[in-house]
Structure 1
Amino acid sequence: MIRGESTLRMRHIGPLGVGTLPVRPLASRTVTGTRLPALRERSRLEWRITDGGDPTRLLEDFLAHAGLPVRDLTAPPRTPGPDEPAGATVYLSTAAAAHAIGAPTGPASPVPAVPDLVAVVHEPATDPHPDRPTAAGGPTGGWWLGPWRESWTPAQHAAAVEQARTAIARGDIYQVNVVGHASADYTGDPLPALARLATLPGARYGGVLQGAGWAIGCASPETLVEVTAGRATTRPIKGTRPATATGRAELLASPKERAEHVMIVDLERNDLARVAKTGTVRVDELYGIRRWCDLWQAESVVSADLADGCGLTQLLRAVCPGGSVTGAPKHAALAEIAAHEPVGRGASMGALGWIGPDGIDLGLTIRTAAVDADRVHVWAGGGITWGSDPDAEVAEAAAKAAPVRAALAGPAGTRRPA
């Protein structure tokens, strides 16, 4: 069962060698296993779609009331004063983001215990080691994870890919991300298992966020949006191959992967342009090859200067849900997703990160797991174009989920408690 006070614990992953995804600074604010300044929870907001209202506006109002500078993201970054909040951990689900922009929210979440919006405001703690977490990768203490049960069969997944290709042929969409889900029973404390995700190579946004009866573990390599000194940056990832010399060559040479990737880069440029100063949107890097675990992935960097007075609500409505996990056009892709995915995306494909006086750093919750009182849930998928092969897409989703499932399972020999 889930225990303990609800806090965010982000683990800074050090440099992992040439070819790995670069480490983002988010984790330096709330860190597992290091001696950085301690933080404690000052206040918290939790919201579900059934509560009504606009989650992006609720979030901005909550953080502004807490003293964080979210009304105008172009203001210079600053160091918080002694009585000011250090910043806030923020999580926003795909469904919440779709709701905020008037798009279909999709099927019900398979883990309804997890809220659709969480914001935890932190302040410096006098206790140097508040709520110290269990070390990731340590003794399992009877942790047991049961067999995985998929929400659809490989054949049903392949059929969904074909349906997406049919929608592309009709001209309804150009590209869409199709995501599947699996869950497994567990016994024991899930938090050490979720914390192990942060140790996966390339976990740029690695950590655990928990609340009453739920927790999220993340190993994401992808930046949804970062804002520093008024400039917003997104780093879409699209295109995957095994992390071998052959796989890297295939990814570089694949017309299908490049076409899919460039479509999403164009979508991200358009998203940022909605809140940017005219003429400031640029592609800083196109189709760079990075490594996450045993996979090569293609990543680009798109940035823009935010328009004067741009606030958090405007920014989130522009970039969420993330283009790389929806498709193009975004609203039409979300309608396609809602029609064909068997269960909701829950904690996956949303946003998780940090908002503070010094800026914003939100990762996309890919390579993410969630737990409720009884089960562990994971999601994985990929972008579909007219050139997609259904069987290859099924295999790609399995390859993305495999390291997450292995980390959750833990060392060989973990057993079910008597």
Structure 2
Amino acid sequence: MRKVGPYGVETLPQVRGTTSGSAAPVDAPAAPPACRGALTERARLHWHVRDGGDPAALAERFLAAHGIPLHDLTRPAPAHRDTGVCGAALYLSAAAGALLAGAPTTAPEPAPTLPDLAVVVYHHGVTGRSVAGAPTPWWLGPWTESWTPAQHADAVTRVRAAIGRGDVYQTNLVGHAAAPYAGDPLPALRRLGRLPGARYGGVLTGDGWAIGCASPETLVEVTDGQLVTRPIKGTRPATAAGRADLLASAKERAEHIMIVDLERNDLARVAATGTVTVDELFTVRRWCDLWQAESTVRATAADGLGLADLLRATCPGGSVTGAPKRAALTQIGDLEPVGRGASMGALGWVAPGRVDLGLTIRTAATDGHRLHTWAGGGITIDSDPYAEVAEAAAKTAPIRATLAEH
């Protein structure tokens, strides 16, 4: 193993296979299903905010150096081959996204082992086997919240006051919880990735850390020069009454449309003039036991758009920050007691001519000692503080139940 500048490491090949007794196949969200059982890790980059520099530019340069040039996303994606480079898993934390947006975070990170940028390049071809040991008993201890329900509700009240002053129009507040565990956490994280509705289900691991994702939300997707984002805003229980209530809620619709407008503006920064459209608006879809409202925003990439500029324009996602984005990020930094860690960032797959990144909602992570989860929601002037606390609990309940299974 050798260093790559001050930023991270490039690893020797790591074996991935599917035969009995071998290590699990690559399970990064959005990785090609047909390739997951036959990929070998060839290069890896880790970066932390404390390292300094621009993580978006760093990721683009690293990928280009390893056979994945993404400096011009308007080019058609080449035909996928089953030899040579396949693609790469790409993860960017919420803290890295805030840095790109010009609003660095100051809250302490609850899982500092996690990198703020991870890029893992995979080639086709299994060259050996890695024999797995016997499974270890799994135990998950009690959850400890980063704030109490009363503190969460007070933060909602303070956001409403800021909206009344005209400081922001909407701010997304996120809470964190951690629990001790014993045993191998990867089976639990893989279960999480298989939850119904997880468009970005999967696991990414590193030395002493792992991230499990069950996100239904597309942060940004690029194929053949077409940009797509699918913001989600608005949640109700997955019952007939819950669906009707979500569709009828003026508060939820106003909150949702505000974020759709923000996402339209984000894409317009990197899109060809006049190409931003809303294909779907406030479509209700199901994730586990919840209804959620989703829209689809599409645009054509501007000439010469590269990965770095795309990340700068879209990170962190508007549905987990608020509007205006930078003002909301400043308020988030003032109100949330701990950092967002692996949540509210980006995780997915990139390949020549293609980007597919999910927003890391419905996400858990381990730092080798504790398991971490995050959940929250968007706050508007009409938000009821304790209803917002209950919504966050509803979002995290399926995650915690899945992680606790034996």
CA pair 9-400 structure 1, distance change in 2 beyond 3 A: farther
2:117: which partner in 1?
117
CA pair 196-261 structure 1, distance change in 2 beyond 3 A: same
1:276: which partner in 2?
271
2:159: which partner in 1?
164
2:68: which partner in 1?
68
Post-superposition offset of 1:232: 0.5
Post-superposition offset of 1:126: 3.1
User: How much identity, in percent, do the aligned residues show?
Assistant: 64
Deviations 1:76-109 (A, max 9, x none): 1003567641111000001011112321324121
CA pair 373-380 structure 1, distance change in 2 beyond 3 A: same
1:9 to 23, 26, 37: 26
Alignment-mate amino acid for residue 28 of structure 1:
P
Alignment-mate amino acid for residue 187 of structure 2:
P
- C-alpha separation in 1, matches of 2:135 and 2:377: 32
Instruction: Map residues 47-66 of structure 1 onto 2, 5 A cutoff.
Output: 47-66=47-66
CA pair 355-264 structure 1, distance change in 2 beyond 3 A: same
The aligned length equals 385
1:344 to 331, 335, 339: 339
CA RMSD of aligned residues (A): 1.9
- C-alpha separation in 1, matches of 2:156 and 2:32: 36
| Contact kept? 1:27, 1:205, Cα under 8 Å | no
Deviations 1:371-397 (A, max 9, x none): 012100000000000000001000000
Instruction: Map residues 212-361 of structure 1 onto 2, 5 A cutoff.
Output: 212-361=207-356
Q: Is 1:100 aligned with 2:86?
A: no
2:197: which partner in 1?
202
| Contact kept? 2:70, 2:353, Cα under 8 Å | no
CA pair 73-57 structure 1, distance change in 2 beyond 3 A: same
Q: Look up the SS of the partner of 2:85 in the other structure.
A: coil
Q: Look up the SS of the partner of 1:216 in the other structure.
A: strand
Moved more, 75-84 or 267-276: 75-84
- C-alpha separation in 2, matches of 1:300 and 1:322: 14
Unmatched segments (≥5 aa) in structure 1: 13-24, 412-418
Unmatched segments (≥5 aa) in structure 2: 1-13, 17-24
CA pair 29-103 structure 1, distance change in 2 beyond 3 A: farther
Post-superposition offset of 1:235: 0.2
Deviations 1:337-365 (A, max 9, x none): 00000100000000000000241100000
Post-superposition offset of 1:9: 3.5
Q: Is 1:409 aligned with 2:404?
A: yes
Instruction: Map residues 123-138 of structure 1 onto 2, 5 A cutoff.
Output: 123-127=123-127
Deviations 1:95-152 (A, max 9, x none): 011112321324121000000000001000234x865889xxxx97410000000010
1:22: which partner in 2?
none
- C-alpha separation in 2, matches of 1:133 and 1:172: 54
- C-alpha separation in 2, matches of 1:306 and 1:244: 39
What TM-score results when the alignment is normalised by the length of structure 2? 0.91
Q: Look up the SS of the partner of 1:10 in the other structure.
A: coil
CA pair 66-98 structure 1, distance change in 2 beyond 3 A: same
1:91: which partner in 2?
91
